[in-house]
Amino acid sequence: MNDIEFIRECEDALKDKFAIVDDIAYFNQVKVLNAFRQNRIAVRHFAGTTGYGYGDEGRDTLGKLYADVFSAEAGIVSPHLLSGTHALSVALFGVLKGGDTLLCVSGMPYDTIRPVIFGENIGSLKDLGVKFECCDLTADGNFDLEAISEKLNRATVVYIQRSRGYELRDAFSCGQIGEICKFIRKKGFKGCIFVDNCYGEFVEKTEPTEVGADLCVGSLIKNAGGGLAPTGGYIVGKERYIEAIGRRLTAPSIGLEVGSYAFGYQYFYQGLFMAPHTVAQAVKGSLLIGYAMSRLGFINYPSIDKMPYDITRCIEFDDADKMQNFVREVQYASPVDSFVCCEAWDMPGYDDKIIMAAGTFVSGASIELSADGPVKPPYVAYFQGGLTYEHCRYALERILAKLRA
């Protein structure tokens, strides 16, 4: 069987899962469209502003639009949130103060947020007197209810990271997040439940703020930007928390009254409109590549019998060369910088050398076809994105040819 026949066989086996993805995309497209209509989005909302940005209708309405899509009370959507890590950082500094305790119940957070929480002498939360505690997940990747119960009475903010980061576990579904939110509330917790939603938006029909989370944070160069947003992040949730975070984003005396963006907001609005479809394309690409790699004997997270709960798929190679060749083929299949040979390097914010393929229109955009991972045992490549399913399929053709060579 040649590679094209093999891919067609994989596609045929995935028809039922593809149909589920299409159903989710349609549901979310209608949800987003209804939010646009309810907020009476018009051409004037796309206009940029300068200086202080007082009365910036495009900025303010964009926050309301996101809040409605996520069934939240209020939202901040800003090009001045430079990445997912920055959005998370601003939100954490907004809801925590000296003497408070941040409790992460989903295991150790992702590499780049760790220095924000407990770095030393860099202006971290720890430097400001915020304490940190962590509950590891159980051996099967679930929340450890006993450990959470023991530590919960000391917590001010409960932190949940939906996606896996560079860990070998499945992303959490909104159903799982809803159940842990219920458990935490039943234990009497009155504080803020905070979800890092990066990579998870529009993969399901619900979002964390619809199932009990008080705050939900993500990046616009991942799912929510639909491949069009040039930068930025979003924070949605309870109004009292959004107001506090707004005072951290700008200044305590000003809050969300200011903030201009001279280039205009069209791509932020249009990206959100496109996001349900774009995410569905990425999820289908993930399923195809995961199924094909599983057929070749490579371990997948999530396993191919499951539906994914984010756009990231990790594939375990147990071989440095195979892992790096996988990443390089993604780069060679890219529309931008396809001629570049990826090499592992000491990337800021990470403990190990990282190899990263991101031949993207928006620099580093994870909603576009990309792959990366730390070059260390068990040599796992983290594959994400794909603006079109066809691009993912073509990348798989190249990957198969390289692996079979």
- Interval 383-399: pLDDT, tens: 999 999 999 999 999 99
Mean pLDDT to the nearest integer, 184-194: 98
- Interval 156-188: pLDDT, tens: 999 999 999 888 899 999 999 999 999 999 999
- Interval 288-313: pLDDT, tens: 999 999 999 999 999 999 999 999 99
Instruction: Kindly state the DSSP code that residue 109 receives in the 8-state scheme.
Output: P
- Which pLDDT score, from 0 to 100, does residue 347 have? 80
- Which pLDDT score, from 0 to 100, does residue 60 have? 98
pLDDT cut 90: percent of the chain above it: 95
Instruction: Kindly state the DSSP code that residue 215 receives in the 8-state scheme.
Output: E
Residue 160's SS3 state is strand
Domains by residue range for the chain, with CATH: 3-26+275-404 (3.90.1150.60), 43-271 (3.40.640.10)
- Interval 339-348: pLDDT, tens: 999 999 888 7
Mean pLDDT to the nearest integer, 126-140: 97
**In 96-222, at which residue ranges do the beta strands (DSSP E only) sit?**
101-104, 131-134, 157-161, 192-196, 215-219
Name, in order, each residue with C-beta under 8 angstroms of 299's C-beta and a sequence gap of 6 or more. Answer: 315, 316
Pairing of strands 157-161, 192-196: parallel
Q: Residue written as tokens 């959004």?
A: 242
**8 A C-beta contact, residue 371 and residue 395:** no
- Which pLDDT score, from 0 to 100, does residue 192 have? 98
Q: How confident is the model at residue 1 (pLDDT cuts 50, 70, 90)?
A: confident
Q: How confident is the model at residue 80 (pLDDT cuts 50, 70, 90)?
A: very high
- Which pLDDT score, from 0 to 100, does residue 270 have? 98
- Interval 11-63: pLDDT, tens: 999 999 999 999 999 999 999 999 999 999 999 999 999 999 999 999 999 99
* Alpha carbons 190 and 152: distance in angstroms, whole number: 10
Q: How confident is the model at residue 403 (pLDDT cuts 50, 70, 90)?
A: confident
Between 349 and 34, name the one with better pLDDT: 34
- Interval 352-384: pLDDT, tens: 899 999 999 999 999 999 999 999 999 999 999
- Interval 314-338: pLDDT, tens: 999 999 999 999 999 999 999 999 9
pLDDT at 75 over 80: yes
- Which pLDDT score, from 0 to 100, does residue 26 have? 98
- Which pLDDT score, from 0 to 100, does residue 352 have? 84
- Which pLDDT score, from 0 to 100, does residue 251 have? 96
* Alpha carbons 372 and 385: distance in angstroms, whole number: 12
pLDDT at 150 over 90: yes
Mean pLDDT to the nearest integer, 257-274: 97
- Which pLDDT score, from 0 to 100, does residue 166 have? 85
* Alpha carbons 44 and 56: distance in angstroms, whole number: 10
Tokens of residue 53, six digits = 């940005």
- Which pLDDT score, from 0 to 100, does residue 148 have? 98
Closest to 70 in 3D by CA, of 217, 220, 171:
217
Rounded to whole angstroms, what are the CA distances from 359 to 313, 330, 367, 387? 18, 8, 12, 12
